[in-house]
A and B are shown apart, each in its own frame.
Chain A
Amino acid sequence: MRKTLIAIAGIMLSAGTAFAAKGMISSADYDSIQAAIDANPGEMVFVPNGRHEIEKSLMITAKNSGLYGPGTIVQKNTEECLLRITDTDGVRIEGLTFTRPEGATDTTQAGIFIRDASNITVDGVRVIDNRGPGGSIDCHLTESVTIRDCYIENYKSLFVDDRMEPADLYGYAFQSIDGTGIKALNNNGITIRGNRVVEKHFIPTKENVERLGLGKITKVGEKLGRLAPLEDIKAGYTSNWHQGSAIVVAGLGHARLAIVAETMWRTRPRASTFTQTM
């Protein structure tokens, strides 16, 4: 009996060692992905297969930490980002899929939001159905960020484009479709390479525009600004209803050294193009 127990202990020990030799820190070993991140500052955390629902944004603030693996993060809360990387350095996010579920896709929040951080790499990540002007991936006040080989699908949503301010220039608002794939404002040394940014959901057809009331002027200032389109405002319609960019790099005087390369963007629905080629 004693021998048996020793044998069991031996087997368990060797099995445990063999497993530990994998050296993998997996979020499956913690209550949540956030708990895994918090318990392992500075480490890469494996996110296994499956849909991992969250309702608060994931948050990474420790240097050289990161997430990798085949898992899918599903953000149920439209008031929260998918992931925030702030005030840190050397974080890597690799291979994960981030999405929002049906019925909760439209958001004013960013998807992956990187702020006041440096040397961040987002590699082979998919951001699907983070729809809104916040940006599926949004970088703000960062240095040396790389966004490569990522896939962004469906980033546009209905949005009132409010140009009431600055009053001296505009002074009106209108119904628009707005959305940004990759947004980079006030960053230095950003590389955006080999990504695909595709919108399949919103197609800018005449029918869709009529159905959604796009271009309708919704608010007008008492005094119009210098750049306000007077004729449009009189007519109650502006043709400028399709806003946003697949990739925007800006920051009026504070954005430098950007490389945008080999990015393929598509606005045509893949399905219909696909059918045509069959």
Chain B
Amino acid sequence: MRVTKFAVAGFLIAAGTALAAKAGQISSADYASIQAAIDANPGEMIFVANGRHEIDKSLMITTANAGLYGPGTIVQKNVNECLLRIMQTEGVRIEGLTFTRPEGATDTTQEGVFIRESSNVTLDGIRIIDNRGPGGSISAYKCANLTIRDSFIENYKSLFIDDRMKPEDLYGYAFQSIDGTGIKAFHNTGIVIRGNRVVESHFIPSKENVEKLGLGKITKVAEKLGRLAPVQDIKAGYTSNWHQGSAIIVGGLGHSNFTIIAENYIENAAQGIDIHADNVTISNNIVNGGIMGMKAMHGSRNVLIEGNQFLNVDLWGIMLMPGAGSHPARSQKENPEKFEANNDGGTIIANNIISNFGYGPQRWNWGGKDGGTTTQSPIALMGGQLAENPPLKDVLIMGNIVYDTGRDGVIENGEPTVEGPRYQYALYVEQTKEPKPQNVIVRGNIFNAGSKGVANFELPAQ
């Protein structure tokens, strides 16, 4: 009988092994943990089976051509750890998995999926849900040839103190904010962000929520305020700038280039798409609901903004500005870090539609029926933040529509009401504050007039 038992056991083990080997699939189910499967199979794709796989240390991939695929869900219980780190490697692929944090442990200062100093990494069809905080649900740093496609990011914002005590010469204050980033890419080259959805359904920027959470409250003030500190806000103890972060941000002041952002859908962002990079194509995206649709500043050169829809935004649809981070080319000896020209312009804004402007969730904060401030505009080209910033130049604006949706009638108390435009000018181009934009060419657009006109300057017939 004992012999029989051994035989049975042996047979079953052999059969089990044969079965596992039969399909040839390396499954994390055959290991003590997903990390153990990764470590035991360098350079291989690991199948992650159905089910919730809890972790309390970040998954880590460091070998070339390794990866994860399958229907499994990774649940990170530790708020002090990332979901997955891909470090100093190449050719890694992550396909189809869901990553999340459990209720009560969603808010984090850590990144979700963090890719650092790696090349040819592809994230394809993954879902990151409830990785809430400024670190980014997906964050890439110093990578080359990275693709993030067909992925879904939900709920990436959390309460956060926005500390602007530094740089002291510019700011010198801190305030209570909501901050969060869907996809964050700094200092990368050749990144493609395509076909993703970045949606916030947890935090809604309503007046009630802001009061309940004390958003905008100034929490710290320096003895001496910097040049860009909002003195009146600081006196009043409140800034309306409490909604921070972006659905997608590509930055890295002068070290970020060759980016494609295409066919993404973004809903309820603070900023939809935020660019501080060169040679960027932003095409066929929809940004629905936010403070702004997109902005490009701090040295964003040769940005192609084409075929996008920006709707239900309250401050800007498309905004270009030479931010404080921009500078001309300068001596490498004197500026060993930032010597190459980092200026704004050489940009095309074509075939975009901006509609429902002023009908977003933050109209109460940024606008009003009178259309808010003058610069609050569906398309805005601004002067430099600092006098020494190189001017924004060579911008071609053509074939766009700024559509005044209120004319069609909006339903109020069950009845249609024709509303006036919720902007003063469809197009605002800074005319006085130096450095002001240079060589802006505007042709063939349909701009429905704002409360004060089509543009804040004499615009040739379109």
Contacts and interface: CB of A to CB of B under 8 A. Distances in A.
B19 A19 contact: yes
Contacts of B16: 15
A66 B258 CA distance: 34
A22 interface: yes
A264 B22 contact: no
Contacts of A50: 24, 44
Interface in A1-46: 1, 4, 7-8, 11-12, 15, 19, 22, 24, 26-29, 46
A27 B19 CA distance: 13
Interface stretch (A81-89, A111-119, A246-254, A266-274): A266-274
B262 interface: yes
Contacts of B231: none
Interface stretch (B185-193, B298-306, B312-320, B358-366): B185-193
Contacts of A196: 120, 145, 147, 190, 192
Chain A contact residues: helix, strand, loop or mixed: mixed
Contact of B144 (A7, A47, A194, A270): A270
B124 A124 contact: yes
B49 to A, nearest CB: 10
Given A27-B24, A49-B41, A264-B190, A278 B142 contact: yes
Contact of B258 (A1, A11, A19, A264): A264
Given A196-B147, A262-B260, A15 B24 contact: no
B72 to A, nearest CB: 15
B203 interface: no
A61 B55 CA distance: 45
A48 interface: yes
Contact of A29 (B22, B69, B144, B260): B22
A1 B122 CA distance: 55
Given A49-B44, A277-B188, A194 B145 contact: no
A198 interface: yes
Contacts of A138: none
Contacts of A277: 142, 144, 187-189, 255
A8 B117 CA distance: 52
B165 interface: no
Contacts of B21: 28
Interface string B45-79: 10000000000000000000101010000000000
Contact of A8 (B8, B190, B255): B8
A29 B21 CA distance: 9
A26 B69 contact: no
Interface in B119-172: 119-120, 122, 124, 142, 144-145, 147, 149
B12 A11 contact: yes
B192 A49 contact: no
B281 to A, nearest CB: 8
Contact of B189 (A15, A95, A273): A273
A264 B260 contact: yes
B192 A262 contact: yes
Interface string B4-34: 1100100110011001011111100000000
Nearest to A29: B22
A189 interface: no
A149 interface: yes
B262 A262 contact: yes
A274 B23 CA distance: 38
A151 to B, nearest CB: 7
A46 B15 contact: no
A264 B19 contact: no
A24 B49 CA distance: 14
Interface string A39-70: 00000001111100000000000000000011
Contacts of B149: 149, 194
Given A8-B8, A11-B12, A194 B192 contact: yes
Contact of A270 (B1, B26, B122, B145): B145
A153 B258 CA distance: 18
Contact of B15 (A7, A12, A95): A12
Interface in B88-113: 91, 95
Most buried by A among B21, B120, B262: B120
Nearest to B262: A262
Interface string B241-282: 000000000000001001010100000000000000000000
Given A11-B12, A70-B69, A264-B258, A49 B26 contact: yes
B436 interface: no
Contacts of A264: 145, 190, 192, 258, 260
A153 B64 CA distance: 15
Given A151-B120, A264-B190, A28 B22 contact: yes
B259 to A, nearest CB: 9
A51 B45 CA distance: 12
Nearest to B191: A264
B184 interface: no
Interface in A78-136: 95, 97, 124, 126
B194 interface: yes
A7 B5 CA distance: 11
Given A15-B15, A49-B44, A262-B262, 9 more contacts: A4-B8, A8-B11, A26-B25, A69-B25, A124-B124, A264-B260, A266-B190, A266-B258, A270-B190
7 contacts: A8-B11, A28-B23, A49-B25, A95-B69, A270-B119, A270-B145, A278-B117
Closest 5 CB pairs of A and B: A48-B24, A28-B24, A70-B45, A49-B44, A26-B23
